[in-house]
């Protein structure tokens, strides 16, 4: 039986995905093939990367995650800010930031606990919510690295909009010659509440914040 490469995530609306794509167009024009860009339809906020799982485990995951998150109220996050892991000088992953309320940490903890009860290894790094938008190729010349550094340091991304988080989702990732294709396997709804006023995003700070990297894959 073939295994599924899977992860849990917060889904990002198409309008925000396209806003990120538009905001990063100057970088794409300047850097071209030096960077491997995430297609807009694949931009998401990873909660937990599960790795290769058995298709038979999907039903157990669905039950566990639905039970874990059903008491968490739906909430809003704002998307904006720009940085890289581990920092601009040694950039490997480029990200757009989020301004999550405490609820997103609660959601992450519940997802992590539910997965641990099913035997998945706990995450050893701190949770740093972000949206991966690109990966820097490691084989560039010194001139390429200097150009990348100069452009990253001069890039800012303002607040692009708010995302309503009302579900956690399980996706599978199929690696194709053209890149990864994500397919949603199920959704675990949060408790519905009245739409709250989005919290304001602090000024973006480029570089290495969020402080810990938890982007394993995708």
Q: What is the pLDDT of residues 14-26, one digit of tens each?
A: 999 999 999 999 9
CA separation for the pair 127, 48 (Å, rounded): 9
Q: Are 190 and 179 in contact (CB under 8 A)?
A: no
| Mean pLDDT of all residues in 69-81 | 95
The tokens for 60 are 């157990």
| Residue 173: strand pairing partners | 182
For the domain made up of 4-189, give the CATH fold: Cyclic Phosphodiesterase; Chain: A, (3.90.1140)
Domain boundaries, the chain: 4-189
**Of the candidates 169, 164, 185, 201, the residue with the CA atom closest to the CA atom of residue 73:** 164
- Strands 75-85, 179-189: pairing kind: unpaired
The tokens for 54 are 């058995």
Interhelix angle 58-69/102-117, rounded to 10 degrees, is 140
pLDDT class of 34 with cuts at 50, 70, 90: confident
Instruction: Give the tens place of pLDDT for each residue, 151-190.
Output: 999 999 999 999 999 999 999 999 999 899 999 999 999 9
CA separation for the pair 161, 48 (Å, rounded): 24
pLDDT class of 101 with cuts at 50, 70, 90: confident
């Amino acid at each position: 039986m073939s295994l599924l490469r899977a992860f849990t995530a917060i889904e990002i609306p198409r309008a925000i995905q396209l806003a990120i794509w538009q905001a990063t167009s100057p970088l794409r024009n300047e850097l071209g093939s030096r960077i491997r860009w995430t297609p807009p339809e694949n931009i998401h906020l990873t909660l937990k990367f599960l790795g290769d799982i058995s298709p038979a485990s999907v039903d157990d995951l669905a039950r566990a995650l639905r039970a874990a998150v059903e008491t968490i109220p739906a909430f809003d996050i704002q998307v904006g800010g720009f940085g890289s892991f581990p920092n601009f000088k040694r950039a490997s992953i480029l990200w757009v930031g989020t301004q999550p309320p405490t609820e997103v940490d609660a959601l992450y903890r519940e997802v992590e606990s539910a997965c641990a009860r099913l035997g998945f290894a706990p995450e050893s790094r701190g949770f740093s919510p972000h949206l991966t938008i690109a990966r820097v190729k490691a084989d560039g010349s010194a001139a390429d690295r200097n150009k990348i550094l100069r452009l990253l340091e001069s890039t800012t991304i303002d607040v692009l909009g708010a995302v309503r988080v009302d579900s956690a989702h399980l996706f599978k990732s199929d690696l194709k010659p053209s890149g990864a294709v994500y397919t949603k396997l199920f959704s675990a709804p949060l408790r519905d509440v009245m739409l709250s006023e989005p919290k304001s995003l602090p000024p973006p700070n480029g570089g290495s914040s969020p402080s810990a990297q938890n982007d394993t894959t995708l």
